[in-house]
Chains A and B, each alone.
Chain A
C-alpha cells in the first residue's frame, strides 16, 4: 500500500441543524509533520477530524491523499487509507488483555491462537516506536498512559500513516505526556504524521512543527511553529472583534456574596488542578472566568457547589462557611448552579418537563408534603417558567429530552433563577446554542445581576464574557492570572494571561 505523503482537506463545509460547524476549511499535512489543531471547545476541530475519520460526510469540499481524491464513507474507508484516530475516551475492552484488544477485528491475525501472532507483531512495533506495554496485562491494570500506548499500537498495526489524536494529554500526568511526545517523535522519524487536537498552547509549541487555529468553524491562522509565540496563538484563538456589550444598569458592586480563599482541588486523576485559588463575587456583579478549558474551571465550580471535595481553603457564602457541605445544603443556602452538561447534569432527560421544573426543590414544601407531590402547584410552576422564560415546548407533559438544547437551557435557567438565589453559577450556559437563545440567556444573567444577585459565569467564549461581565478573571493552571475590567482592557492582555503570562495585576507567574 502506498504511504501518505501528503494529505489535503479542501474547502470543507459542514452544518448541523442551523449551526455551521465548519466553514470552508483547508488543511494540509505532509509526511513527518506534527500538526497542532488549536481552538476553543465548539470551534469545529472535532467535526473536522470526524470528517477526516469518515464519521461525518462533509456538505462540501474534499479530502485528497497524494493528490488523489478520497471518498470516506465510514471509519473503515479511512482506516484503509491509512488514517487512524485515537479518541479522547479510549475504545478499549477493560477486561481483556492488551493482546486481545489489539487482535480484535485484526484481519491478518490467524483464526487459531491469534494472541500468539499478535505478540510478535506487538513486540516488533513496541521496539520500533518505544511503545512499552506488557501484552499480557488486562487493560484495567494499566495506567492511562499505558492504555493510550495500546491505542497507538492498535492504530499503527492497522497501518495508520496519519494519526489523529484528540486531546491526548488530558488524561496523562506530565511525565506520561513527555513519554507520549517521545513516541510521537519516533513516529514522525519513521515517516508517519500526526494531527494533535489540543487546548494547551504550551504543548503545541513544544511538540508540533506546524499549527492551525480554528475559531467558530473557520481557520483563523496557520503557521510554522518556529514563527509564532504562545501569545500569537492565544490571539488567534480568541479573535479580535468584540461587539458591543449588553445594556446593564449602572450599579456599584455590593457586599461580597461568594468569598473563596486559598482553595485547592484535585482532578479526577487525583492531581492538584485548582491551586491556592482566591476570588470574591459581590452583589450586583457578574464575574466571568475566562481561560482555556482544562485549567481547573470545572473543578473549581464543582468544589464551590459541593460536588467535589475541596482539599484546602474555604468557601464562604455571605460570610457563612460552606466548604465541603453537601450539594443540597449549599443549594438551600442560596447557590444555584447551571451545570455545564445540560442533558447529563442539568436535567433528568426522561422525566417530564414539569417534573424537571422543580428538581432540587421537589422534596420540599410547597411542592410536596408528607411524601405526596403537589402536582397542581408543580404544573403551575412549570407553566410560569415556560411563559416567563420563553421555553418553546409542546406541553409541560413532554419528556425533557424532546426539547432542543436552547429550550432545555432556558428551562434550567428559569428553574435556577426563579427562586432568586443570592449566587448563580453558570458554566458554559450558551455552549452549542443558536444565536437567539444564547442572547436570551445572556440577558437573563444580566437581569439576575440587576435584581441584586451575584453571578459567576464560566465561559470559553471571550466575546460573551466581554458583553456580559463586570469583571473577568483569567484562570491558568488552577490559578487566577489576573482580573480585568472588560470596559477598559487590552484583549492582548487576556491572551497573555490565558497563555500563562501574568500582566502584573495579581498573578505570580513570570
Chain B
C-alpha cells in the first residue's frame, strides 16, 4: 500500500512539473497585463525543439536551453502584436497556439517514434532521500523538478520582495501610474511576455525529454489550456501555482489509477476545469475573496501611451 502511494505521489510530482513551469510563466505575463493564450503552442514548440536538439546533440541540457529560447522567441510575436500594435490579446494568443502547434508538427515530423537514448539522470539527495515516502517523492527526482521548484521560489520572491516585482505588478494594474513614475511600460510588458514564453518552452522540453522521452505531434494534449486555467486557479500568485500544479498533476495520475475501477476517464479529464470553476465560485461568493480574486486590473487591455 505504502508503495502504491509513493508511486502515485512520485508520478504526481512529475506530471505537475510542466504545469508548474507553464503556470509560473503565464502568471508573470498576466501580472504585466498581457493575457497569452498561446501557451499550448509555445509549449509544443518547446517540446519539439527540446527533443530535436537533445536527439541530435545527445545533450538534454542543450535541449532544455534551446526549448527555452524557442519559447521566448515565438512569444515575441505575441508581445509585438499586443504591446506595440495593441491588437486583441485573445486573438493573437489563439493564433500563437496554432502557429506553435503547426511549427512543432512540421519540424518534429522526422523524429516521431524515435526513442531518446540520453536523458537527464535523476538526482538523489543523500540522507533526505532515505526518508520513507517523502524521500522518494521530493529528493529523488530528475533535475527538472528541482529546477521548477527553484524557479517557482525565485518568481515568488521576485514578485513579492523586489523592485522588479513591484514594477511588473504595477504595470499590469495601472500602467499610467507606472509611466508617470518613469517606468518603461512597453519594455516591462515585452520582457514579461518573453519570460512567459521561456517558461512554456521549458515545460515543453520536460514533456518530450524527461516525461515521455519521445516526440509525437500534439503531445502537449491540452496542458497549455490547463495552465491558463491554473493561472486563474492560482489567483495570479506564484505560491499558489505550486498547489495548483501538483493538485492537477495528481488528477492526471489518478485518472490512470481509477480507470480500472470503472470510473470514466472523460469524467476525470474534466476535473481540472471543474476545479477551476469551483475555486472561482468559492472566492466569488465572499467579498474579501472577490478582492483577492480579481485579475490584474488592466489584463487584456492595450495600453496607449499618453492617452487620458
Contacts and interface: CB of A to CB of B under 8 A. Distances in A.
7 contacts: A91-B176, A95-B294, A100-B166, A104-B178, A105-B178, A105-B182, A109-B163
- Chain A: interface secondary structure? loop
A104 B170 contact: yes
Given A91-B180, A104-B177, A113-B161, 20 more contacts: A75-B180, A91-B177, A92-B174, A93-B170, A93-B174, A94-B297, A96-B166, A96-B170, A96-B173, A100-B166, A100-B169, A104-B178, A105-B178, A105-B181, A109-B163, A111-B162, A111-B163, A112-B161, A112-B162, A114-B166
A47 to B, nearest CB: 14
Contact of A105 (B161, B169, B183): B183
B161 A104 contact: no
A509 interface: no
B237 to A, nearest CB: 12
Nearest to B176: A91
B302 to A, nearest CB: 15
A140 interface: yes
Nearest to A80: B182
Contacts, number: 57
B3 to A, nearest CB: 44
A103 B163 contact: yes
Closest 10 CB pairs of A and B: A105-B181, A91-B177, A93-B173, A93-B174, A114-B163, A104-B170, A105-B182, A100-B166, A105-B183, A93-B170
A114 B162 contact: yes
Contacts of A96: 166, 169-170, 173
A376 to B, nearest CB: 33
A324 interface: no
A92 B183 CA distance: 14
Number of chain B interface residues as a range: 20 to 34
A115 B161 contact: yes
A76 interface: yes
Contacts of A111: 162-164
A104 B297 contact: no
Q: Which of B163, B164, B170, B294 has the most CB of A within 10 A?
A: B163
- Chain B: interface secondary structure? helix
A104 B297 CA distance: 17
Interface string A84-125: 000000011111100010011110011111110000000000
B297 to A, nearest CB: 7
B167 interface: yes
A92 B297 CA distance: 12
B162 A104 contact: no
A19 B161 CA distance: 49
A410 B261 CA distance: 74
A261 to B, nearest CB: 39
A192 to B, nearest CB: 20
A410 to B, nearest CB: 24
A92 B181 CA distance: 11
A115 B160 CA distance: 9
Nearest to A76: B182
A185 B204 CA distance: 61
A184 B244 CA distance: 50
B291 interface: yes
Contact of A104 (B166, B176, B291): B166
Nearest to A154: B181
Contacts of B161: 112-113, 115
B287 to A, nearest CB: 12
A245 to B, nearest CB: 36
